[in-house]
């Protein structure tokens, strides 16, 4: 196709008429695979006489095409999109030049993203000249070419930054970084102006360095020849004073400006270097060898200078002599936090800690103009931010709170009381309401720790009465909100009231807040009341008559917002008032389902507006998941209601019919993000009902459809539901061949679908077991499929969990129909039955190879079934060993009582719930050496992550990257298989002792020689055990008579 026609087609892709636009897009798809199309697009993008919008449309299509198809080879299906070799060569030969001549940032962004994909696939083997080409650009006298070189360097680093073991990234760093630091140093030495070229390139260079240290710090970067010039550059940029005319006047514009973006990256890099590589006391043991020397040097030579520089910047900021962007403030707080635990940096930070708290931290926590604007304009978002602010990555408020908590927890002896003294000082002074909010906000942040402090927690009731109670009736709504937040926090962590009247008055204040005119106060009131209802039985009883009103208020809040905290509060109320809410359970669920449907219909509507083929013409971007998260919260609340009414079968049945359409809608529209909750709800409904309603079978059918299409990875989530369908709907399944076929197909697919892992195979095997145990006599036509699928795994190296699960599929097959199962095995290949028996008896006689009660009982019942097989039906390969069946059963009986005791102990522990950790306060606060290095739970967690990462890397290296599986018998691969306490086995009620006695009697009558051989081969201990088993069988039979 000629350039003019192609240009016209892409010009039409942004035509306002959808019909014209669609016609052009279809034309482009028809020619997309033609050799030379991409080369032609590159010419269009380079042609300055063509309209910029058309060139940008070409760049977007090119970027998306490269992103989706560059890794595909050209020998795939003819109809599958791909990029031919000639076009690949055109891309490699043109893209750097296009970057250097790009007319706009929008086109540059698209080309840069495409370049990253090409580099990741082709460098170094297919593009050995890349680095010299980038060097040439960087060393050019043309600003545009240097800029293009900076972009290319960034994309080259980004292409490899997550690769753990590669020599590609260190090579790129060694060759390009000396040039980059030289360029950046020259630029940073010039007086800042409003011109964008220098800050833009500095921004790119620093972003390149930051990307390069995402996982590792190369040997070159650790050397003095690298770290010294780069370190000087970072300090120069941090200290750079920006003239007013060089940045926008408004704060929002300054935040986004290239100069402040550059400063942000300088702060971020210094923090990353210290936190991950340069902090010896916190460096994980697996990283000591690689970074120990660098860390010792960095903490001595660089960390003090960073701290001194940051303190200077903070002093200028709090005295209003200089401005700091929010991102820079965030990185400063993050660095201060990292300085708290190491002894070497704490000594330097310690003299400034209290000043930082009373100025820099406090300024973040007051009710400032930014908070006020958010409260006034979007109170729902105010609540979302105030509840989740500690997890908001870029928020200086979050970082300030984290720093405050780090001081309080890691240096408790030195900082905790002075922080509280500062809070008291503010609250006892004539401080403004905004400052009083800041002090109370500190208390809210530290509430958990205050209630863990042995000296302070006893004073908390008086503090509440003095400062929090008055705020509950303040004319300033934000003070009412923060007071309620403190009340909820201290109640949650064990506040005890000396005066019952005070307790009730505060609970009434929380309840009254539900009617407050300000939404954030309503939410905090609901959260505080929820904690008080949970903590105090008197409050629970007092609220009981009004619980309908409370739930109504919560439902309204949930309807008006997407706040997960509201749904969480509703869950607690439903749990606490199960009996009281029983009469309105159906109404409540109907309302919740309507809310859920509103969310999911919005999701479906949004997805319907997106043409899946349009992605070739639109820039690829992420979707907003807010509605999905909101739907998840509502689903959790519905689940809580369902669990609370399990004893009332009539109401449960009503609720189920309300919920089923919601579940069907979710599955039909393949809202995969919500499948976890769909199957939790379906599991609860079917399990509590102990029956399958007719409307539920649509969910069964949709589950099979989902598994075979979009949700093959959800077998673990589907399994409890499928097991319930089989257990409680067995009669329906027995009468429906399609349902049986679906179940068996899921099992075989779990073993054969290529990308499913061992856990999926284990879950598939559990499904097969459920089929064989619950559908006795009804899946004869599928028995050979199940057995052959299980036999296919016998010779594969697998984990202990899968080995056992697969073995028990075969054991269950024998229990289902011993004669048919053994015949199928022998038909597959002579001697297969013997091979199975050898593996089975190795497990029976092995140490802890059949560890659970179910495992032992299943084998006992199957061995008993085999004893009843007529002698003529025993395969020839098994005849000699047939008498050993009795000995195998006795070995299992020997271990069964101990396994039962272990299960009972685990069940008792499970029923008792989690034990309260008496050392919680000790772990939360550090009352030990106030000057030494601190190693806390966070440090231990990072150590664990580093060790696990090192283990996985070592395992990958042992496998040589060929995908082979390590020896599954190695100790590190084996995990103890524990009892599944929530699993109710179909053989739970079958008595193994009486079954065995009956089978042994049958063996004696119909296969005398085998019985004689079996009993005479028993040693004294086995004979004694046999007598005990028979005695227990007789006793059990007598008791049930």
Model confidence pLDDT, tens digit, residues 153-168: 999 999 998 876 667 9
Give burial (CB, 10 Å; 0-12/13-18/19+) of 880.
Answer: exposed
- pLDDT band at 360; cut points 50, 70, 90: very high
In the chain, pLDDT over 70 holds for what percent of residues? 92
For residues 610-625, give the mean pLDDT. 46
Residue closest to 683 by CA, chosen among 669, 665, 703: 703
CA distance 413 to 871: 80
pLDDT exceeds 50 at position 613: no
- pLDDT band at 938; cut points 50, 70, 90: confident
Q: What Rg value do the Cα atoms of the chain yield, rounded?
A: 35
Please report, for the chain, how many H helices and E strands are present, in that order: 55, 0
The 10s digit of each residue's pLDDT in 759-786 is 999 999 999 999 999 999 999 999 999 9
CA distance 940 to 946: 10
Q: What pLDDT is stored for residue 964 in this prediction? A: 43
Contacts of 475 (CB under 8 A, 6+ apart): none
For residues 565-590, give the mean pLDDT. 90
Largest CA distance in the chain: 105
pLDDT exceeds 90 at position 367: yes
Q: What pLDDT is stored for residue 965 in this prediction? A: 42
CA distance 295 to 306: 14
For residues 615-633, give the mean pLDDT. 62
Which of the two residues, 975 and 362, has the higher pLDDT score?
362
pLDDT exceeds 70 at position 406: yes
Q: What pLDDT is stored for residue 32 in this prediction? A: 80
Contacts of 1010 (CB under 8 A, 6+ apart): 871, 882, 883, 1003
Q: What pLDDT is stored for residue 633 in this prediction? A: 86
pLDDT exceeds 80 at position 218: yes
Q: What pLDDT is stored for residue 975 in this prediction? A: 58
CA distance 584 to 606: 33
CB 614 within 8 A of CB 583: no
CB atoms under 10 Å from CB of 200, counted, come to 18
Give burial (CB, 10 Å; 0-12/13-18/19+) of 921.
Answer: middle
For residues 492-500, give the mean pLDDT. 94
Q: What pLDDT is stored for residue 925 in this prediction? A: 74
Residue closest to 521 by CA, chosen among 461, 529, 490: 529
For residues 589-601, give the mean pLDDT. 92
pLDDT exceeds 50 at position 624: no
Summary mean pLDDT of the chain? 90
Which of the two residues, 756 and 955, has the higher pLDDT score?
756
- pLDDT band at 839; cut points 50, 70, 90: very high
In the chain, pLDDT over 90 holds for what percent of residues? 73
Q: Of the segments 78-82, 147-151, 868-872, 948-952, which one has the largest average pLDDT value?
A: 147-151
For residues 881-903, give the mean pLDDT. 93
Q: What pLDDT is stored for residue 620 in this prediction? A: 42
Q: Would you give the DSSP letter of residue 464?
A: I
pLDDT exceeds 60 at position 74: no
pTM above 0.75, yes or no: yes
Range from 564-573, 732-741, 957-966 carrying the lowest mean pLDDT:
957-966
CA distance 941 to 968: 27
């Amino acid at each position: 196709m000629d350039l003019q026609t192609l240009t016209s087609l892409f010009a039409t892709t942004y035509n306002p008429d959808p019909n014209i636009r669609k016609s052009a897009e279809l034309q482009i798809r028809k020619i997309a695979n033609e050799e030379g199309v991409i080369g032609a697009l590159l010419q269009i993008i380079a042609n300055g006489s063509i309209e910029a919008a058309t060139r940008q449309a070409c760049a977007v299509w090119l970027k998306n095409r490269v992103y989706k198809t560059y890794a595909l080879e050209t020998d795939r299906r003819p109809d599958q999109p791909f990029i031919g070799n000639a076009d690949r060569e055109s891309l490699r030969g043109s893209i750097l030049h296009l970057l250097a001549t790009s007319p706009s940032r929008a086109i540059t962004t698209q080309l840069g993203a495409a370049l990253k994909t090409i580099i990741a696939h082709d460098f170094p083997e297919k593009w050995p000249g890349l680095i010299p080409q980038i060097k040439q650009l960087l060393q050019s006298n043309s600003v545009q070419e240097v800029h293009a070189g900076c972009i290319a360097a960034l994309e080259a680093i980004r292409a490899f930054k997550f690769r753990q073991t590669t020599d590609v990234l260190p090579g790129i760093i060694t060759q390009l970084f000396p040039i980059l630091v030289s360029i950046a140093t020259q630029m940073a030495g010039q007086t800042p102006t409003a011109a964008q070229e220098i800050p833009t390139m500095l921004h790119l260079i620093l972003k390149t360095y930051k990307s390069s240290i995402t996982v590792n710090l190369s040997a070159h970067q650790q050397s003095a020849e690298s770290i010294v010039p780069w370190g000087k550059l970072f300090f120069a940029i941090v200290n750079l004073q920006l003239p007013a005319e060089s940045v926008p006047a408004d704060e929002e514009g300054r935040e986004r400006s290239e100069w402040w973006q550059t400063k942000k990256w300088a702060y971020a890099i210094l923090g990353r270097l210290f936190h991950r590589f340069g902090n010896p006391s916190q460096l994980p043991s697996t990283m000591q060898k690689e970074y120990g020397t660098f860390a010792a040097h960095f903490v001595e030579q660089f960390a003090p200078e960073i701290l001194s520089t940051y303190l200077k910047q903070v002093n200028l900021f709090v005295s209003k002599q200089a401005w700091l962007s929010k991102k820079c403030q965030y990185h400063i707080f993050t660095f201060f936090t990292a300085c708290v635990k190491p002894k070497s940096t704490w000594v330097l930070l310690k003299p400034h800690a209290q000043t930082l708290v009373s100025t820099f931290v406090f300024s973040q926590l007051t009710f400032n103009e930014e908070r006020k604007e958010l409260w006034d304009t979007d109170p729902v978002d105010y609540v979302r931010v105030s509840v989740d602010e500690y997890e908001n990555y870029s928020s200086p408020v979050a970082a300030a709170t984290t720093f405050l908590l780090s001081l309080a927890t890691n240096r408790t002896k030195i900082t905790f009381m002075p922080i509280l003294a500062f809070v008291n000082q503010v609250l006892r002074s004539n401080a403004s309401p905004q400052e009083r909010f800041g002090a109370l906000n500190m208390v809210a942040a530290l509430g958990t720790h205050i209630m863990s402090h042995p000296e302070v927690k006893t004073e908390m009731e008086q503090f509440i009465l003095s400062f929090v109670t008055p705020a509950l009736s303040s004319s300033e709504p934000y003070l009412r909100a923060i007071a309620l937040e403190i009340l909820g926090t201290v109640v949650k962590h064990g506040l005890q009231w000396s005066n019952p009247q005070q307790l009730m008055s505060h609970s009434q204040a929380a309840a009254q807040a539900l009617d407050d005119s300000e939404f954030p106060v309503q939410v905090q009131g609901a959260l505080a009341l929820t904690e008080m209802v949970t903590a105090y039985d008197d409050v629970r009883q007092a609220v009981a008559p009004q619980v309908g009103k409370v739930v109504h208020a919560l439902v309204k809040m949930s309807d008006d917002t997407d706040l997960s905290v509201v749904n969480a509060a509703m869950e607690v109320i439903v749990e606490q008032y199960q009996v009281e809410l029983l009469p309105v359970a159906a109404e409540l669920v109907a309302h919740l389902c309507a809310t859920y449907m509103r969310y999911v219909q919005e999701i479906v509507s949004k997805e319907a507006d997106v043409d899946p083929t349009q992605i070739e013409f639109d820039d690829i971007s992420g979707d907003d998941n807010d509605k999905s998260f909101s739907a998840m919260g509502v689903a959790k609340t519905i689940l809580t209601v369902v669990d609370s009414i399990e004893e009332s079968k009539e109401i449960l049945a009503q609720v189920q019919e309300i919920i089923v359409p919601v579940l069907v809608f979710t599955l039909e529209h393949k809202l995969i993000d919500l499948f976890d909750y769909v199957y939790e709800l379906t599991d609860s409904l079917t399990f509590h009902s102990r029956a399958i309603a007719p409307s539920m079978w649509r969910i069964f059918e949709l589950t099979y459809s989902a598994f075979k299409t979009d949700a093959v990875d959800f077998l673990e989530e589907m399994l409890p539901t499928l097991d319930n369908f089989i257990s409680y709907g067995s009669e329906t399944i027995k009468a429906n061949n399609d349902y049986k076929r679906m179940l068996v197909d899921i099992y075989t697919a779990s073993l054969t679908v290529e990308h499913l892992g061992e856990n999926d195979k284990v879950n598939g095997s559990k499904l097969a077991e459920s089929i064989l145990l619950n559908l006795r006599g009804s899946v004869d036509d599928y028995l050979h499929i199940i057995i052959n699928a299980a036999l296919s795994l016998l010779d594969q190296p697998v984990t202990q969990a899968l080995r056992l699960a697969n073995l028990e599929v075969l054991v269950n097959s024998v229990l289902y129909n011993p004669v048919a199962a053994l015949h199928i095995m022998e038909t597959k290949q002579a001697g297969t039955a013997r091979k199975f028996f050898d593996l089975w008896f190795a497990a029976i006689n092995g140490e802890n190879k059949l560890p659970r009660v179910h495992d032992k009982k299943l084998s006992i019942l199957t061995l008993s079934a085999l004893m009843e097989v007529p002698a003529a039906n025993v395969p020839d390969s098994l005849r000699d060993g047939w008498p050993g069946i009795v000995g195998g059963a006795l070995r299992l009986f020997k271990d069964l009582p101990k396994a039962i005791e272990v299960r009972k102990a685990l069940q008792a522990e499970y029923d008792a719930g989690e034990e309260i950790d008496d050392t919680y306060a000790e772990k939360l606060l550090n009352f030990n050496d106030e000057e030494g290095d601190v190693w806390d739970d966070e440090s231990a967690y990072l150590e664990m992550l580093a060790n696990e990462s090192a283990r996985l890397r070592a395992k990958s290296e042992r496998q040589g990257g060929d995908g082979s599986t390590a020896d599954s018998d190695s100790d590190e691969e084996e995990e103890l298989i524990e009892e599944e306490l929530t699993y109710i086995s179909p053989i739970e009620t079958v008595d193994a002792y009486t079954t065995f006695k009956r089978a042994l009697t049958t063996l004696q009558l119909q296969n005398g020689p085998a019985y004689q051989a079996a009993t005479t081969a028993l040693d004294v201990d086995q004979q004694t055990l046999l007598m005990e088993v028979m005695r227990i069988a007789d006793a059990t039979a007598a008791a049930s008579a």
